[in-house]
Each structure stands twice: as C-alpha cells, then as structure tokens.
Amino acid sequence: MSKYYTLLRDPTRRKIIEILGNQEKIGFKELKETLGLGVGTVYYHLDMLSDFITQDKQRKYRLNDRGRALYRILKEGNIPATLEISETFSHRLGRWLFLSPVFAKTVKPLRFLPFSLVILLLGAYGSAYAKLDPALFFYFPYSFRSFTTIALLFVFNWLGLFLFAEFFSFLLYKRVGNELQLLACIGIAAIPMAAYPYIYLTIPTVLSNLDAMALNTIMQGILMVLQIWSLLLVSAAFCFGKGLRLDKAIIISLTAVYINMTVLFVLGRFS
C-alpha cells in the first residue's frame, strides 16, 4: 500500500491510471496528447508505472492486475486527503538536488536551449580563462592549450555526452526521439562543472592566508562535491530527456564516468 501511495503522489501518474481505467487501453500518441506532456515525460511516468501496466500486440497500454487494484484504490477514495500536498523535507531536498522543477520545464525545449547554451559557454570561457583542461567530469590545471582550444574542448565534452546518451539509451532501452529536450537537459546538468573554474579562481583570493597544500586540498574537495552533483544532474537529464527511471538513467551515467576515467588513465592524465 505504501508503494501505491508513493506512486500516486504524482498527479500525472494518477491521471494515467484513471485514463487507462476508464478507457481500458490507449496508444502512446493518444495518451501524450491527452496529458499534454512531452515524449520524455510521458515515457518517464509510464516507466515508473511499469509494474502496473502492460502493452498488447498493438502496442497499446492497459492495466494489469496490479494496475486494476491501483485504479480501484483511486475510485474508492482510499488515498489519504493529504497525499497531494504532503511532502517530506527529504523529498523536497531531493527534488532540488536533482533540479527536478527545472528539468520538468524542458518539456518545451526551445525555450531552454538558449539557457543551456549560456551554461556551456560560461563553462567554456571559465575553463579557458583559468587554464584548466576540461575532461567532462574532471579538470587538469596549468594547461598549455590555447584559449580557443580549451573553450571548444569543454563544449565538445558535453556534446559528446549528449551523443553518448542518445546511443546508449537506444542500445539498452530502445528509446529514440526527444533529442532537443535531452540536449537542453544536458546543458542544465553541466552547471556544477561550468561553475568550478570560477570557484577555482576565487578560492585562492578569498583564502589567501592558506598555503598551497591546504588550498589544493580544499579545491579537490570542492571538485569532488561538484562531480557527485554533476553525476546526479546528468542522471536526471537522462530521466527527463529520454523518459527513463532513475535506476536506468544512472546506469548510463556511471558508464559515462567509467569510460571518462578509463580514457584519462590510458592517456596518463592521472599519473
């Protein structure tokens, strides 16, 4: 019952259950138009409800036995009245940690693409100005590359992650389409790593009384926190951009991190 309540906390999922309960079965396109949501968002909610729905030979969605039980709970009014407005502190914190309210607005990606582009450009400029070699989730100081090369490298790293996500989401989960929303989400996910070069330039000025070793330790700690946050945001980007559940999205994210680290080890950047 508690699992039912967790799923039904979201009004969109309640709406899907009600639609399927009333209409018996429905195709993806018709469901998307009824909900008025983007492809990735609808896939995400269907994925969350995967234990309660099934598809017939015509690829139409319908409730299974568990789903019909869920629909009866809705119809009988057994959902607590406070369910829609109840929200624990941890849930609130989690939503903002993953920037879920921001990602949710990318359902209209053309509005967010300029914002995502600005984030990538700021990260590119900061990396080049600080002379930090960007390597997706990592930075290496004292770069000898030109300003333009470093800036382009930052942008290409994140565009490469976008292509990687497109390929692996199809390879593992057969998800296609919704490229613009994914691209907008990837730009948002770059916020922590785009911010690091500016922190890198500011900390030595603010903490000028510390020696080089202490400053280096602090910077390494800050970078680690931003790397973890970036990993969470990238996972959220895959959730909203490709409509994947978090447990599936994080598999792609971790694969990207492992490949990133492997390439850097092979190139001798961690020596």
Global pTM exceeds 0.85: no
* Backbone torsions φ then ψ of 230, nearest 5 degrees: -65, -40
pLDDT attached to residue 199? 97
Alpha helix stretches (DSSP H) within the chain: 2-8, 11-23, 28-35, 39-48, 65-76, 89-97, 100-104, 109-130, 147-173, 179-189, 191-206, 212-242, 246-266
Q: Decide which of 49 and 148 is more confident.
A: 148
Over residues 39-66, the pLDDT tens digits come to: 777 888 888 888 888 888 888 999 988 8
Q: Which residue has 């968002």 as its token pair?
A: 41
Q: Which two tokens stand for residue 119?
A: 């984030």
Domain assignments of the chain as residue spans, ordered by start: 2-86, 93-266
From residue 242, how far is each of 75, 94, 172, 220 by CA, in Å?
Answer: 31, 20, 12, 32
Confidence bin at 81 (pLDDT 50/70/90): very low
Quote the mean pLDDT of the chain: 86
**Residue 78: what pLDDT?**
58
The predicted-structure confidence for 173-199, as pLDDT tens digits, reads as follows: 888 888 999 999 999 999 999 999 999
Question: pLDDT for 188-230, tens place per residue?
Answer: 999 999 999 999 999 999 998 989 899 999 999 999 999 999 9
Single-letter residue type at 35 = L
CATH number belonging to the domain at 2-86, selected among 1.10.10.10, 3.30.460.10, 2.170.150.70, 1.10.3720.10: 1.10.10.10
